[in-house]
Amino acid sequence: MRVGLVADRVASLFRRGADRVPARHVHDNGRRLCRGGVEHPAEQDRVVVGRADRSGRAGRIHDFLTGGRTGPRRSKRDLILPLCEGKSVLDLGCVEHSWRMSVENPSWLHAEIARVASSCLGVDFLDRDVEELNARGFDMVAGNVLTDDPPGRFEVVVAGDLIEHLENPGVFLRYVADALTDEGIAIVTTPNALYPAQLWSVLGRGRPEINPEHVALYDPFTFANLVERSPLRIRQLVWLDLTWSAFSGSRNPLVRAGAWAPLHALTRLAVAARPYLGSDFAALLERRPDGEAVDREESARRVMGFLGRPER
């Protein structure tokens, strides 16, 4: 408990330091941001953007990568449910391991989406579990997002922690684009490959904490590159709450007390100082307008610009 309090205290010092960073460029926009795009809650009359005025996709991702230091993280549910409210929703990979685990979990995301959406159709390749859940009142179809066509077009497509399970993410993103209405939005969440708890796990156990069904890990940079090469484009990126910590599941109380608490505190401090080290992130995606050409060289320069790295 004391370690957690110390972590909170030091993290608050990081936030105070970020608030004191002097502004470089000022633009009227109804709110004020300090360098890097961090919102300053005390004043709501102007916007300050670091280095240069950024707009569009590059600006949104730049703010996400460098400007989240004092901004609150969000839980998956707090992000996804409001976007699904009153909308037609397609939920991909909706079964939580099995039908029984799904219905016995009071926080099963698909059930929560179905409660707030005007309609909610689930897709999963676990055909027997889909049958069991349909018998219990849910609306699902058995399908494969890499080989099948989407079962229609929807205002919202949700893919919660799915893309890291798929061996062909480009085909998957094309499926998502085909499933969206022209004004629709897709919500894709995935773990961050650069989360420090993975390092602690490798140092302590000799192996990372990776689901054996995962075939890929993404960070925002590689994910942005992937989306740039798809029929979709990024509308917004959001850091999510920290979802796990190294050694938290250990059965050894000495490990939990001696390793988990200080390493979790160190992880929180690192994430407070460098938001890019967060455990998970979400991307809000939209269809690329028909006929919009994708210039690969320009896309590469734009993605490099998201990280503030100079061209060579």
DSSP 63-121: HHHHS-SSSPPB-HHHHHHHHHTTSEEEEET-S-SSHHHHHH-TT-HHHHHHHHSSEEE
Phi first, then psi: give them for residue 57, nearest 5 degrees. Answer: -60, -45
> Has residue 196 got a pLDDT over 60?
yes
Query: Shortest CA distance to 204 belongs to which of 246, 161, 267, 253?
Result: 246
> Has residue 71 got a pLDDT over 70?
no
184 in a domain, yes or no? Answer: yes
- How many domains is the chain partitioned into structurally? 1
Reported as half-sphere exposure (CB side, CA atoms, 13 A), residue 88 has a value of 10
**What pLDDT score was predicted for residue 237?**
84
CA dist., res. 54 & res. 61, Å (int): 10
**What pLDDT score was predicted for residue 174?**
97
**What pLDDT score was predicted for residue 73?**
72
125 in a domain, yes or no? Answer: yes
Q: Which amino acid is at 63?
A: D
Phi first, then psi: give them for residue 183, nearest 5 degrees. Answer: -105, 10
> Bigger pLDDT: 209 or 226?
226
Reported as half-sphere exposure (CB side, CA atoms, 13 A), residue 254 has a value of 0
Domain that holds residue 117: 72-306
> Bigger pLDDT: 179 or 254?
179
Tell me the per-residue pLDDT of 11-59, one tens digit each, with 9 for 90 and over. Answer: 444 344 434 333 333 333 333 333 333 333 333 332 333 334 445 555 5
171 in a domain, yes or no? Answer: yes
Q: Residue 208 is part of a domain; what is its CATH number?
A: 3.40.50.150
**What pLDDT score was predicted for residue 305?**
54
47 in a domain, yes or no? Answer: no
Residue-averaged pLDDT of the chain:
76
Question: Residues 70-79: what's their mean pLDDT?
Answer: 75
| 8 Å CB contact between 137 and 71 | no
**What pLDDT score was predicted for residue 254?**
63
**What pLDDT score was predicted for residue 193?**
93
Tell me the per-residue pLDDT of 146-179, one tens digit each, with 9 for 90 and over. Answer: 999 999 999 999 999 999 999 999 999 999 999 9
32 in a domain, yes or no? Answer: no
19 in a domain, yes or no? Answer: no
**What pLDDT score was predicted for residue 85?**
97
Encoded tokens for 123: 């897709």
- Identify the weakest region by mean pLDDT among 21-35, 131-145, 151-165, 223-237: 21-35
30 in a domain, yes or no? Answer: no
| 8 Å CB contact between 83 and 154 | no
> Has residue 103 got a pLDDT over 70?
yes
Encoded tokens for 75: 């839980």
Query: Is this structure's pTM higher than 0.75?
Result: no
31 in a domain, yes or no? Answer: no
